[in-house]
Structure 1
Amino acid sequence: MSFTNFSGVFGVYEGTKLYEYGAYGFANKNFRIQNSTSFCYGTASGTKGFTAVSILTLAAENKLNLDDSVKKLLTAKAGKYGSLDWLSEKVTVRSLLNHTSGVPDYFDEDFVDDFEEALCGNANYHYEKPEDFFPLIENMWKKQQAPYSSAGVFKYSNGGFVLLAAVVEAVSGMSFPSFVKQHIFTKFGMKSTGFFRLDETSPDGIVCATGYQQNGRSNIYGIPVTGGGDGGAFTTIADMAQFWHNLDPELNPESTLSPFIEDAWSPCIEGDDGLYGLGFWLRKENPHIVFLEGFDPGVQFFSFYNRDTKRSLTICLNDEQKKCSEVFEKYFGLVQE
């Protein structure tokens, strides 16, 4: 079947066995390089699943508790993050994971219209580490009429997951990208997944597709120069199949991480796009379908996993002038069955 209005790649897997796949459109329009299922694509907020698993890994190793105060964890690293006056001591790791902390989103559409405006006049290459985003979160905190008024209810916050990346660094002593690479990507056999900078050549053997915005331009100035806790990692459809396979508690009963994944994959609150656990969405119609999704300029990402059938569907779109609807209509039923 040929899709006429889709640019990107998709893959249906049963476990780690490829079932159906496709690649359409261009990974690079300048050089007319076609998309390929072997290429890496942006995950946008799909990265939050990797961040959640990083935190849960530290919890499984008894290095933190999900009900710990985030402020106390960060201020234990004297001087690195400043006084954090804007961060309430009532904010816990768990409340960040399920978006009930009340921590403002640094890109809050109630106050700003686009990513460039959210950066307060700074270039995107100034934002590399979690603490680089803290002034943006504080800026949104100051704009709120009643800070933390949403605490206890679901309010999606990229700022919250920036804080979680900082927690990973403070507790582990490693940079966030290094921790995720060692404890998830390498451990799970996700050989082509990583936090690749937009302004650097990718590692040998890895090709990252360019993302194109609605106006036809690439997204190199439309997103942070490198990914972090809230989004921006690159992955392949094969690596996402490995991710789901290695996380499934039923397939990995001996893992100390599995009880925490069971918790993360259990609905605890209703969000904007379905039920929500800890860093993962769940289909309201069938909570045994767990999923991640992400939207950035030039990027749309969806990855679904059915715990009952062990089937997954990952869709990576790299051109906002196109849509994912044709792929959904054709293949989502294979995961839903």
Structure 2
Amino acid sequence: MKEMDFRHFGGVFGVYERTAPLTTGGAGLADRNFTIPNDPSFSYQTASGTKGFTAAAVLALIAEGKAGLDDCVKRILAESHEPQKYGKLEWLDEMVTFRSLLSHTSGVPDYYDEDLTDSFEDVLNGTPCYHYEKPEQFFPLTEKAWKKQEKSYSFRDVFKYSNGGFVLLAAAAEAVSGEPFGEYVTRHVFRPYGMNRSGFFRFDEQPPDGIVRAAAYQGNGKSNIYAVPVIGGGDGGAYTNPADMARFWNALDPEINPQSPAAGLVEEAWTPRQKAEENFYGLGFWISGKNPRIVFLEGFDPGVQFFSFYNRDTKRSLTICLNDENMNCDEVFEQYFPMIQG
């Protein structure tokens, strides 16, 4: 691991060409209780970067022929082997599909709208974060946000970022596959892609053997274990590291793996569709407004910043995992982003 002297950075980073490391580094602490330094081999929270894993899992499901991009999600949930756990779903429109959810154009409201709040605790309104373990446990929050709308599905067909939409994707993936969402992603994304340090790990349980899970620290110095759900889901919270992200991009790239059953779907997911401020969005992935050959994921949670960029031309990735809210990624980004441009 390369020594760093970034006084304003707390976390790890890695630049890879395909799966070969070009440079890696870290600064700050992974655990303040035991003064353990950050290390790129540890596993870090990804916040909304998880949406890329959700997209990859859903595309795998579709590539297997178990569902279609334009299938009605409400019907899938209603016809599942456990429809009672989803409730009546009166708030869910028949026009909501996998495609519209992946592109944030479904109109499904965001239960955690960062334009309105920056506190997950406020959204929970007194409910402990350990209550939120399964996709359907977020449905009441999404329904509540739906009821607050002046006009139902007022954002349909336009880009409106929605964590609630990706919770629905996780529920639909469970309903179709018959597997808990985290297990499905592990079996269809993490394991086949060689992402051995990635997964959905509960805060209140010891991680699997071989996994060192880095803590994340908020601006007040406290860890974020009471600020986000106890375990990640379709919209965020999985763990990974720079090496695993290099494997992720390499395994997904349809130009490297044209024989993959999901290659055509990934190409569609990486095609700019919706304008989102200075960038574009495809199906579960951001696409650079300056260079549409660069796809990326990003996530922000209390104590967490996550970025992973992939240049389809150079086959290089840059992943940054920050775990200290009092720090920033500016110096790392400025020094290493040019490397992926070739």
TM over 0.5: yes
Greater mean deviation of Cα atoms: 204-213 or 105-114: 105-114
The aligned amino acid for 1:259 is G
1:67-120 per-residue CA deviation (whole Å, 9 max, x = no partner) reads 111111111123231110011111111000000011011112455451001112
**Which residue does the alignment assign to 1:48?**
51
Question: How many residues matched?
Answer: 337
Paired residues of 1:194 and 1:235 also in contact (CA < 8 A): yes
Q: Give the Cα separation in 2 of the matches to 1:110 and 1:293.
A: 17
TM-score normalised by L of structure 2:
0.97
Which residue of the partner structure matches residue 167 of structure 2?
Answer: 162
Aligned runs of 1:55-66 on 2, under 5 Å? 55-66=58-69
Which of 99, 103, 111 is the equivalent residue of 2:104?
Answer: 99
Q: Does 1:26 align with 2:62?
A: no
Which one of the candidate residues 158, 171, 176 is aligned to 2:176?
Answer: 171
Secondary structure of the residue that 1:313 maps to in structure 2? strand
Partner of residue 130, structure 1 = 135
User: Where does the alignment leave 5 or more consecutive residues of structure 1 unmatched?
Assistant: none
Aligned counterpart, 1:17: 20
Q: Which 4+ stretches in 1 moved above 3 angstroms? A: 109-113
Q: Is the 8 A contact 1:108 1:140 kept in 2?
A: no
Deviation of residue 274 (structure 1)? 1.0
Q: What secondary structure is seen at the aligned counterpart in 2 of 1:191?
A: coil
- Is it true that 1:244 corresponds to 2:242 in the alignment? no
Output the amino acid matched with 2:72: S
Which residue of the partner structure matches residue 9 of structure 2? Answer: 6
Partner AA of 1:68 in structure 2: D
- State whether residues 71 and 84 of structure 1, in contact with CA within 8 Å, keep that contact through their aligned partners in structure 2: yes
1:270 aligns with 2:275: yes
Kindly, what percent of the aligned residue pairs are identical? Answer: 62
Amino acid at match of 2:281: Y
Change in Cα spacing, 1:256 to 1:21, as seen in structure 2 (3 Å) is same
Which of 95, 113, 117 is matched with 1:90 structurally? Answer: 95
The 1:121/1:97 distance shift into structure 2, 3 A limit, reads same
C-alpha offsets along residues 31-73 of structure 1, whole Å, 9 cap, x if unaligned?
A: 1111011100000000000100111111111111111111111
Seen in structure 2, the aligned counterparts of structure 1 residues 257 and 334 have a Cα distance that, compared at 3 Å, is: same
Instruction: Deviation per CA, 1:280-307: give whole Å up to 9, x if none.
Output: 0010010100100000011100000000
For the residue of structure 2 that corresponds to 1:55, the secondary structure is helix
Shift of 1:27: 0.4
Paired residues of 1:9 and 1:35 also in contact (CA < 8 A): yes
CA distance in 1, matches of 2:39, 2:31: 11
Name the residue aligned to 2:38. 35
Looking at structure 2, the residues matched to 61 and 110 of structure 1 have their Cα atoms a distance apart, in angstroms, of: 37
- 5+ unaligned residues in a row in structure 2: which ranges? none
Name whichever of 8-17 and 101-110 sits farther off. 101-110
| Amino acid corresponding to residue 76 of structure 1 in structure 2 | E
Structural RMSD (CA):
1.0
Verify: 1:214 aligned to 2:219, yes or no: yes
User: Residues 7 and 24 of structure 1 are in contact (CA less than 8 Å); yes or no, is this contact kept in structure 2?
Assistant: yes
Distance in 1 of aligned mates of 2:261 and 2:209:
33
> The residue matched to 1:252 in structure 2 has which SS?
coil
Matched, 1:152 2:157: yes
SS of residue matched to 1:79: helix
